[in-house]
Amino acid sequence: MESRCENCIVRQFNSLRAMSKEELKQVSETKTTKKIKKGEPLFEEGDKLKGVYCVRNGVSKLSKLSANGKDQIVKLATKGEVIGQRSVIAEECTNLSAIAVNDMEVCFIPKESIVHTLQKNPNFTLEVLRHMAHDLKEADDVIVNISQKTVKQRIAEAFLYLKNNFGEDDEGFLALTLSREDISNVVGTATESAIRIISEFKKKGFIHTSGKKIGIKNERKLAEMVEGF
pLDDT tens readout for residues 146-204: 788 999 999 999 999 999 999 999 999 999 999 999 999 999 899 999 999 999 999 99
* Measured distance CA(76)–CA(59) in Å, rounded: 7
For residue 5, give the DSSP letter: G
Whole-number pLDDT of residue 1: 42
**Which among 182, 176, 181 has a CA at the least distance from the CA of 214?**
176
What confidence category does residue 139 fall into, taking pLDDT thresholds of 50, 70 and 90? Answer: confident
pLDDT tens readout for residues 207-226: 999 999 999 999 999 999 99
Whole-number pLDDT of residue 2: 53
Cβ–Cβ under 8 Å, residues 94 and 47 = yes
With H, G, I as helix, E, B as strand and everything else as coil, classify residue 18.
Answer: helix
* Measured distance CA(82)–CA(78) in Å, rounded: 9
* Measured distance CA(26)–CA(77) in Å, rounded: 25
| Higher-scoring residue by pLDDT: 159, 141 | 159
